[in-house]
Amino acid sequence: MSEKKVKEEFLESSKDGGAFKEHAPEKRKPSPVPAIIFTAVVVGLIIAIVAVLGLKNRSKKKNTEAGNKAAEEKVIKIGDYKTFSYHKYTTDVTEEAVKDYYQKLIQVYTAYGMTAFEKDESRSTDTIKKDDAVNIDYACYVDGVAIDGVNKQGYDFKLGSGDFIEGFDEGLIGHTVGEKFEVEVDIPKSNTDAGALAGKRAVFTVTVNYFLRSIPLNTENAAKQLFGKDSVEEAYAYLKEYLTNNPAQTEDEYNTKQINTYVRQVVDGSEFADLSAETEEHYNMLHKQYEDAAAKNNTTLEELAKSAYGSLEMFEADMKDEAGLYVKSNLVFALIGKEENIVLSDEKYKDMAREYAVNYDFDTVDAFEENYETIFGKGSLKEYIYTVYVEKEMFAKYAEEVK
């Protein structure tokens, strides 16, 4: 994901400086939540593309009887599915949740190549080159009048980042630490945010304070780099307020996450025969589906993967993990359903199938069922829904909600 995708827009009108850049310097630091939101949106896009094409990630099975026989052969031991506890859903934001979210943001931005900066004393006599990072003071004038908001003392700037209007970076090249100079750039006439300033010349006064070098993001420096705060405590306070006003998930989403955690716990506690062939088959099927789906939407799997995960390798690793979890959970919950005498009624099947049809924009259950079973074989949708039904039933029966 490119950094510009997650930056907050700043200075939207000519009065407050929006003429100069879509992502202006004062708030070039990424917003704490958009990165996560954008990732989720792209991941959701990948899944939705596949689902709408009828390529839901469920392997073909011949019939329920054959599926149960395969499960009995492949599952050596069923994990404990009768013990699971989870906390009641709440919109309260705890200190622990804030700190955990903060660390996850550091991981996400690091994966996307973002770094922090520190003063580089060794370059005090160097001249600025392309892609250098420097600390500067700047102010902007149009027709001799200072533009409110477009000024900053001690601003960390990396050439090539796109933080300033086109032409600004080039104006810094060749200058040295301690210099004070002017950079003149033209505000594009096509800049609709510029208002009366469109087409005029902007003059930046710039002082170069010192060179910077990149260092990895960590708990301390992320406060400034990600949030523009002077301390970690201030960053925590900002995050808590944001998360309080913008809950990360609905109650339904939270409960779904708990069921998924429950399923993984059962799988992790189970023992299986060698499933490498089944897992590889499912992984290859998913990979091909995602490639085809991306192509139908005029992009590539690599581009979608980079947007959602930072790299194709990270996406493929996650896909392999999900493929293994899928294969194992299908097998073990098929046996649990048999052991618990779980029966999926025709009425319940239709209700759940109708929900999927609506979610994936099919006009009728029959249309969704036909589309799905064209890919995976007759009866495959019912087997898929049965597995999901067993998971939900076991969660409802055995999971304990704690405060």
Taking residues 355-366, what's their average pLDDT? 89
What gap in Å lies between CA 222 and CA 243, rounded to an integer? 18
pLDDT of residue 5: 27
E strand segments, 161-200: 180-186
Query: Residue 227: pLDDT above 60?
Result: yes
> pLDDT per residue over 275-315, tens digit each?
999 999 889 988 888 888 888 878 888 888 877 777 888 88
Phi, psi of 363 (to 5 degrees): -70, -35
Runs of H (alpha helix) within 211-342: 222-227, 232-245, 251-268, 276-296, 301-309, 312-339
CATH of 41-91+247-402, one of 1.10.3120, 2.40.128, 1.10.10, 3.30.70: 1.10.3120
Nearest Cα neighbor of 262 from 200, 325, 210, 196 is: 325
Q: What is the pLDDT of residue 348?
A: 94
Q: Which residue has the higher pLDDT, 220 or 62?
A: 220
What global pTM score does this model have? 0.57
**pLDDT value of residue 67:** 55
Q: Give the CATH number of domain 3-28+116-215.
A: 3.10.50.40
Q: Which of 26, 29, 19 is nearest to 165 (CA)?
A: 19
Interval 135-164: pLDDT, tens:
999 999 999 999 888 889 999 999 988 888
By the 10 Å C-beta count (0-12 exposed, 13-18 middle, 19+ buried), 189 is classed as exposed
Mean pLDDT in residue range 167-188:
94
Specify the pLDDT at position 217: 92
pLDDT > 90? residue 243: no
Phi/psi at 146 (5° precision):
-65, 135
Nearest to 394 by CA among 324, 335, 328, 310: 335
Average pLDDT over residues 59-86: 74
pLDDT at 56 over 50: no
The answer to whether the beta carbons of residues 60 and 254 sit under 8 Å apart is: no
pLDDT of 220 above 90: yes
Task: Check residue 150 and give its pLDDT.
Answer: 84
Q: Where are the domains of the chain?
A: 3-28+116-215, 41-91+247-402
Average pLDDT over residues 3-10: 26
Q: Are strands 145-158 and 133-142 parallel, antiparallel or unpaired?
A: antiparallel
Residue 202: Cβ within 10 Å count: 24
8-state DSSP, 98: H
> At 373, is the secondary structure helix, strand, or coil?
helix
Average confidence score pLDDT of the chain = 80
Cα angle 372, 252, 43 (rounded to 5 degrees) comes to 55
The pLDDT-based confidence of 196 (bands split at 50, 70, 90) is confident
Q: Phi/psi zone of residue 106: left (φ > 0), alpha (ψ -120 to 50 degrees), beta?
A: alpha
Residue 109 confidence class, pLDDT cut points 50, 70, 90: confident
Comparing 198 with 279, the larger pLDDT belongs to 279
